[in-house]
Structure 1
Amino acid sequence: MTSTFPTPVRSPRLALTVLCAGMLMVILDGSIVTVALPAIQRDLDFSPADLTWTVNAYLIAFGGLLLLAGRLGDLIGRRRVFVAGLTLFTTASLLCAVATDRQMLIAARFLQGTGGAMASAVSLGMIVTLFPDPVERGKAFGVFGFVGAAGASIGQVLGGVLTESLNWHWIFLINLPIGTAAVVLACRVLAPESGPGLRAGTDALGALLITAALMLGIYTIVETGRFGWASARTLGPAALAALLLAAFVARQATAARPLLPLRTFRSRNVSGANLVQALMVSALFGFQILMALYLQNVRGYGAAATGLAMLPAALAIGTVSLGLSARLIARLTERRVLLIGLALLVAALGLLTRLPVHSDYLVDLFPTMLLAAGFGLAVTALTSLAMSDAGPDDAGVASGLFNTTQQVGGALGVAVLTTLAASRTDRLTATGHDAATALTAGFRLAFALGAALLITAFVLAAAVLRRPGPADSPAGSPGEPTDTRSDAAPADRLSPAA
């Protein structure tokens, strides 16, 4: 089918800046809230169990709607979905800031997650069409990855500063000028698109099944810390989520216009990159949470100091993402750069398996922060591989799928690693160990599992992923030289007729 989406815009780099500004706001919000939770709890009289829903409501909406939002972008125009998502996110941020009770804040956080999903789901697809040249596209993915790392770290620092110097309401109010500027610029800079329309492929039943499966699955994961992995409150919803997912797959196999064509997974790069990403973010999202807990609960850092302590990791990731990753990919191929990045991350978490109670920051933690630069290499290469078979008409759903595996993998990783750490800590505390020793032992065990997940991702990447061939670039980049090295076999191409 001929694409109805225009590729050229007057300034692709300015368009990329707008996309990054929107995503910075969304990612910033994901981390800025965590350090303000104690203040929110005191002000709005949250119970400990209810407090988690200020995070969970956002995660469930965000992760559950990414795939649907990506497909909507393909059908009605990615700019339209991006602008609508930013508008909803900004409006919901204002509602969060003026919330006067728990119910209003939780509902507004759900709306924030919905808007964030809409904006995030189509961003990578827009980059694919903005930068048809593989080298320039790699650089753009690097910049986008840098924004993600910077947003997460800035959020931790900024959240602590705003909460301590003003109040928690300002962590949401800061989104208003960013969101407003991003919406205005997006309308002026991003090229208008006219997709084939909802009648060309709504698959309402498929959308309902996958959204329900993802929301229920993420809900089950985030609630394991409350009910436990083996409880009926966990196993029942997990089984139902699995049934809904199976029904969705069956629907996609028979639907005339499926929401997620199963041919997508025939590409070893698409399937492999999404699996590798799920394993990688499972380890690294858990690392981010556990390291913050270690710094605050064992070493006694404050909220702002914790963010500053983890800032070198973001700077290392950003430095690599902004320039080095794209140059290395052009010289070494995506697969090799990904393997280098994963090896660095294995070393980073490996060092933390020996983390002492009375650590010295420069000796015990700073090397890990520097090795986190491997994420800047890995995520840029993974993004390129995951989007390598996406044409203009399905770039949105490919982008949504990639973001979905990130969110589900992250939620699963945090749930598993924090539960494992807590169980180890509880056992040691029960046998008479002091709190700091028990906590640190729990963190070390979780970091060891994280390292094992990264090793699994390394093996999978080495066995499955290949460099995309000339015909596999999203724009079909003519004249791109064929790599004759042993790891450069072209990825399996999606069949247009499938």
Structure 2
Amino acid sequence: MTKSSTGGELHEGPPDTKLDKHVLSVAGVVVLGAIMSILDVTVVSVAQNTFQETFDTNAAGAAWTMTGYTLALAAVIPLSSWAAARFGTKKVYLTSLVLFVIGSALCALAWNIGSLVAFRVVQGLGGGLLMPIGMMILTKAAGPERVGSVMAVLGIPMLLGPIGGPILGGLLIEKASWHWVFLINVPIGIVAMIYAWIVLRDDGETTRPTIDFVGLLLLSPGLALFLYGISSSAEAGTFIDAKVLSTAIVGALLIAGFIFHALRAKNPLLDLRLFKNRTLTIAVITMTLFMIAFFGASLLYPQYFIGVRGESTLMAGLLLAPQGLGAMLTMPIAGQLTDKMGPGKFVLSGIVLIFLGIGYFVFLGADTPYWAVCIALFVQGLGMGMTMMPIMSAALATLSNKQVPDGSTLVNVVQQTASSIGTAVISVVLATMFNKHAESLVAIGSNAAPEKYAEGVKAGLLPPQPPAQWFDWAAEAFGTTFIVATVLIALTIIPAFFLPRKKIESPLVEEDVDRAPTFMH
């Protein structure tokens, strides 16, 4: 029997890593919220052409339906830790669900592109808190000794979102209308709200921390401006662009100002002193490199299937299914064993599998057999299931309950930033590769937007059928871009090598003992 310094009994014998009924119920609530938030990003990406036609706008105008959502996420995520301490995780989570559902319903009622972008911002303000608050709730409910297992549950929507989004988006747009891209969230959100109200427990006594206004004025706009600048590089096709550089640099300076402020403030908006924790620091570095490579590569697959191979959006999503199947096989096992053996071995093994999977696409051609592509995606998926969530559990498992809100917020800020950087880097590299053979873009246009290609043929500007060589050039551009993703994954091995390779000990301290009856079962 183990006792705290205050005499409270903590547990008897070795800690139980099995997830009990209450923790699984809490995980169900959080997963529902995560599914809505993550799927919404990929589903809306599929609808970009539809938005252009429906609202009579160009690609840049339609892209704001994604940019506005991302900027709202960036602005609100830093508030997660303070909001949880001030109002309690249950109230904040329910409020986020309500805001997200209201935003979704309003998006379906949009009458022009401006109103749709505005309502997407409302949706993003709710969606931005779902993941960090959900991670706080899950981590506290499971306790440090089960964080790997519970993070594996949360990882399912995180890995399957980029796969399920195109499938769902394609079905909704083809079989119903664009309105259902947003309306689908309403019934799911209502179920999630009722479920959360019943299952989630009040935090008990909450504190009344004063909000760090200086930190808020530095970090939220800084993060939003930086991500906007980075995201703009995808449209510009280069990082050396006035709009890209001006906004990204201003954002980076504001973030630097926040770092300077946070390391000196008594109660900063986000406690960066957590980086004194060696395991968390290594995990965050590993996660940053991994997210850049993962989200960058994820951008390429559907573009290749649709643009080079001429597949529909729905078929492109189905071709990505082997990656999801691979992740579903290894993720639960890696999650449970991470709690018992530490994350190091699994993360390293997973990165090697991802390296092999992504590495195959370096040799991509215009007629690469689909069976080989599916095998490579399956191997990559096996690695994904062994990598993403063990890294997250390594970041959070060494934190006390008091540190979890800041740790969860930090992880989500890193995720959002790294995914935006990854998407931007890969987009710019791909654009550069296409510029070597501009005809390859015309070939992709013939498959991705055949009606526009037909207009060019009718006007006498394009041949009736694009030459096969153009498609070879397009495939070569994708293959070269995959080299960058492969190198980034290889670099991830360096910090991953220093992750713990034995069970992470629970940092149970006296303030956690006081909370144990609420969160530990």
After TM superposition, the score normalised by the length of structure 1 is 0.89
Matched residue type, 1:138: G
Q: Which residue of 1 aligns with 2:115?
A: 104
Following superposition of structure 1 onto structure 2, how do residues 293-372 of structure 1 map, counting pairs within 5 Å?
Answer: 293-321=303-331, 323-330=332-339, 332-372=341-381
Say if 1:377 and 1:222 are closer, same or farther in 2 by CA, change over 3 A. same
From 24, 27, 33, the counterpart of 1:16: 27
Q: Which residue of 2 aligns with 1:72?
A: 83
CA displacement 1:465-490 (0-9 Å, x = unmatched): 56564243699999xxxxxxxxxxxx
Give aligned-pair identity as a percent.
Answer: 26
Counterpart of 1:470 in 2: which secondary structure? coil
Matched residue type, 1:82: Y
From 231, 237, 253, the counterpart of 2:263: 253
Q: Which residue of 2 aligns with 1:145?
A: 155
Shift of 1:373: 1.8
| Native 8 Å contact 1:272 1:465 kept in 2 | no
Shift of 1:285: 1.0
**What are structure 1's unaligned runs of at least 5 residues?**
3-7, 479-498
| Native 8 Å contact 2:396 2:407 kept in 1 | yes
Residue range with higher mean Cα deviation, 8-17 or 437-446: 8-17
Q: Which residue of 2 aligns with 1:452?
A: 487
Shift of 1:71: 3.1
Matched residue type, 2:292: S
Alignment of 1:188 with 2:198, yes or no, is yes
Name the CA distance, whole Å, in 2 between partners of 1:17 and 1:457.
Answer: 31
| Native 8 Å contact 2:138 2:150 kept in 1 | yes
Q: Which residue of 1 aligns with 2:411?
A: 402
Name the CA distance, whole Å, in 1 between partners of 2:38 and 2:390.
Answer: 20
Q: Which residue of 2 aligns with 1:132?
A: 143
Name the CA distance, whole Å, in 2 between partners of 1:141 and 1:176.
Answer: 26
Shift of 1:121: 1.4
Name the CA distance, whole Å, in 2 between partners of 1:364 and 1:189.
Answer: 42
CA displacement 1:246-278 (0-9 Å, x = unmatched): 110121122121112232111122122122111
Shift of 1:163: 0.3
Alignment of 1:61 with 2:72, yes or no, is yes
Matched residue type, 1:296: I
From 405, 418, 430, the counterpart of 1:421: 430
Alignment of 1:32 with 2:38, yes or no, is no
Shift of 1:433: 9.1
Counterpart of 1:33 in 2: which secondary structure? helix
| Native 8 Å contact 2:271 2:406 kept in 1 | no
CA displacement 1:369-404 (0-9 Å, x = unmatched): 332221111112111111023222231221111111
Q: Which residue of 1 aligns with 2:95?
A: 84
| Native 8 Å contact 1:277 1:382 kept in 2 | yes
Say if 1:64 and 1:375 are closer, same or farther in 2 by CA, change over 3 A. farther
Say if 1:355 and 1:9 are closer, same or farther in 2 by CA, change over 3 A. closer
Shift of 1:365: 3.8
Name the CA distance, whole Å, in 2 between partners of 1:306 and 1:196.
Answer: 47
**What are structure 2's unaligned runs of at least 5 residues?**
1-5, 7-18, 441-466, 514-521
Shift of 1:26: 1.0
From 172, 190, 200, the counterpart of 2:182: 172
Shift of 1:9: 11
Matched residue type, 1:26: S
CA displacement 1:129-180 (0-9 Å, x = unmatched): 111262x332211111112223332221111011001111111101001001
Q: What is the root-mean-square deviation of aligned Cα atoms in Å? A: 2.4
Residue range with higher mean Cα deviation, 236-245 or 212-221: 236-245
Name the CA distance, whole Å, in 1 between partners of 2:503 and 2:415.
Answer: 22
CA displacement 1:278-331 (0-9 Å, x = unmatched): 11111111211111000000001001101111111112112222x211243245
Name the CA distance, whole Å, in 1 between partners of 2:354 and 2:437.
Answer: 28
Q: Which residue of 2 aligns with 1:230?
A: 240
Counterpart of 1:50 in 2: which secondary structure? helix
Shift of 1:192: 0.9
Name the CA distance, whole Å, in 2 between partners of 1:253 and 1:423.
Answer: 40
Shift of 1:11: 2.0
Say if 1:474 and 1:293 are closer, same or farther in 2 by CA, change over 3 A. farther
Residue range with higher mean Cα deviation, 46-55 or 65-74: 65-74
Name the CA distance, whole Å, in 1 between partners of 2:472 and 2:230.
Answer: 28
Shift of 1:225: 2.2
| Native 8 Å contact 1:385 1:468 kept in 2 | no
Residue range with higher mean Cα deviation, 431-440 or 175-184: 431-440
Name the CA distance, whole Å, in 1 between partners of 2:257 and 2:503.
Answer: 32
Alignment of 1:221 with 2:256, yes or no, is no
| Native 8 Å contact 1:142 1:326 kept in 2 | yes
Counterpart of 2:266 in 1: which secondary structure? coil
| Native 8 Å contact 1:132 1:477 kept in 2 | no
Matched residue type, 1:152: P
Name the CA distance, whole Å, in 2 between partners of 1:289 and 1:318.
Answer: 21
CA displacement 1:24-54 (0-9 Å, x = unmatched): 1111111111112111211111211111111
Name the CA distance, whole Å, in 2 between partners of 1:345 and 1:475.
Answer: 41
Name the CA distance, whole Å, in 2 between partners of 1:304 and 1:267.
Answer: 44
| Native 8 Å contact 2:282 2:498 kept in 1 | no
Q: Which has the larger Rg?
A: 2
Q: Which residue of 2 aligns with 1:492?
A: none
Name the CA distance, whole Å, in 2 between partners of 1:475 and 1:15.
Answer: 25
Matched residue type, 1:39: T
| Native 8 Å contact 1:391 1:475 kept in 2 | no
Shift of 1:126: 1.0
